Amino acid sequence: MACIDNLNDDCLLKIVEYLNLDEQLQLWKSSEPSSRLRSVLSYTWQHHTDHSVDQETFAGSPDVLEDFLQSIRFSVEELTLRYLNMEQLEQWKNHTFPTMRELTYMGDESSEMEGDSDIAILVKCFPLLEAIGLSGNCSGQHISQWRHLRRLDLQLCWYLNTQNFEEICQNLRLQTLSIQWHKAEEDAYVQAIASLQELEELELDIVHLSPDNTSKLLRLPKLRKLLLHNFEQMDELISDIGRLRGQDVVTAAFSDNIWMMRAEVLAKFRNLRCLTLVDDEGCAAVDFRPIINCFPLLEQLHLENSRIWLNADGIWDVVLACPRLRILSMSNQVLYDEFFAFSKSTMSRALNKRKEPLIMHFYKTSKEALIAQHFGHPKLIVSYNPTNSIDSQLPGECIELEFVQQET
């Protein structure tokens, strides 16, 4: 340790920045209390605005935890806390973190905490919180005390109490909500959500939604994004959405499920401008032409790990069916040699009709040389960079719809 202490502060800081938190804590424990190394470590913690702490991070070291909390309490903005026991949380309770804005909290389900006592501590510690994701035994108590909260994820709170959720919706001006409920609770939850006049984004992990309740949710005045996890009646729900607001849907993303949708259901979204398909390996056995014919106004098509064509003739079918298409991207998918066994005359016929060039992005396909060899045309611009529309964060077997704002 004497050697490292001889380094100047800039060198120490650079070394510390390469270490993760666990490694930094080992260095802290092995250094003297008044050493320059501890000063550099404290400086590093203070100037990092996000941290991740689990039950083992400070296990058996309450004094080190105290030093860490003293360092971060006036600068931390984002935290992830995993499975902290009540003894550890009590130590956090002695501090307030006025700059904290976003928290991910995974509750210790095996702990014998009384009620939502852990959430009460979090409310005290982080009074100005704007976003939180919760999991564990939380019943929803105390959440409504976060009056600045705008983004709330309760999708993994299996013991959420209906009355507590109603109180949350009554007291908070939520803009983003992720939620799940049991079928018997549907009406109460929908009624509570329908009161959220500022809600812009809604994620539902549910097993049923009646047409009447679908209508109530779609009447939310500022709703612009709806994410639905797969369930048995998904086709019926999408049909209801298409009937009620299909003309307002301009962007849609499907994760491994578009081939399950009937064409007459998809045709209700004829104003769609941007379509993203993620992990749709099952599409290769399905004729994609009836699907793409549902979207004559399509301007962008993004495929991520979605093998929907045996060869690139399918691309030219899309170009012919969607004359407004400007961007087509394929990413995170190995293109096999047979993909390039396509008709050059069909490619020329599709591209010659265009007024503007088609931009094609091929990202992480492992076939740049073959792409350059086969995809050449004056009306074609080829790129190997990712696009901003790649939706790799979309959960498996989900559908995400984006709406234009309805006129009032």
Does any domain span residue 172?
yes
Distance between CA atoms of 35 and 40, rounded to whole angstroms? 9
Assess whether 308 and 382 both reside in one domain: yes
Does any domain span residue 22?
no
| CATH code at position 86 | 3.80.10.10
Number of structural domains the chain divides into: 2
Does any domain span residue 340?
yes
Assess whether 326 and 212 both reside in one domain: no
Residues paired with residue 302 on neighbouring β-strands, in sequence order: 276, 329
Element (H, E) at 151: strand 151-157
pLDDT at 403: 97
Does any domain span residue 55?
no
Distance between CA atoms of 117 and 98, rounded to whole angstroms? 21
Last residue of a domain, one of 168, 190, 223: 223
Assess whether 292 and 369 both reside in one domain: yes
Residue whose C-alpha is closest to residue 149's, from 196, 192, 115: 196
Assess whether 407 and 269 both reside in one domain: yes
Does any domain span residue 48?
no
Contacts of 308 (CB under 8 A, 6+ apart): 277, 280, 283, 284, 286, 288, 314
List Cα–Cα distances, 261 to 160, 243, 310, in angstroms. 32, 15, 21
Last residue of a domain, one of 223, 240, 262: 223
User: What domain range is 212 assigned to?
Assistant: 75-223
Assess whether 253 and 380 both reside in one domain: yes
Does any domain span residue 29?
no
Assess whether 293 and 342 both reside in one domain: yes
* Residue 83 near residue 55 (C-beta atoms within 8 A): yes
Chain centroid to Cα 96, Å, comes to 29
Assess whether 204 and 252 both reside in one domain: no
Packing angle between helix 211-218 and helix 234-245, nearest 10 degrees? 50
Assess whether 108 and 162 both reside in one domain: yes
Mean pLDDT by 10 residues, the chain (408 residues): 64 86 92 87 94 95 96 97 93 96 92 84 97 95 97 95 97 98 94 98 94 97 94 89 97 90 94 91 72 95 89 93 95 90 93 94 92 95 81 79 80
First to last CA, the chain: 68
Q: What is the pTM of this model?
A: 0.91
List Cα–Cα distances, 377 to 349, 357, 367, 392, in angstroms. 11, 9, 18, 30
Does any domain span residue 148?
yes
SS3 assignment, position 7:
coil
Does any domain span residue 381?
yes
pLDDT at 1: 46
Assess whether 163 and 210 both reside in one domain: yes
Distance between CA atoms of 192 and 177, rounded to whole angstroms? 12
pLDDT at 13: 85
Assess whether 218 and 263 both reside in one domain: no
Residue burial 205-228, b: 16+ Cβ < 10 Å; e: rest: bbeebbeebbbbbbebeebbebbb
| CATH code at position 394 | 3.80.10
Neighbours of 171 (CB within 10 A): 14
pLDDT at 17: 87
* Residue 147 near residue 122 (C-beta atoms within 8 A): no
Assess whether 378 and 314 both reside in one domain: yes
Residue whose C-alpha is closest to residue 51's, from 29, 83, 81: 81
Assess whether 113 and 194 both reside in one domain: yes
Overall size of the chain counted in residues: 408
pLDDT at 109: 81
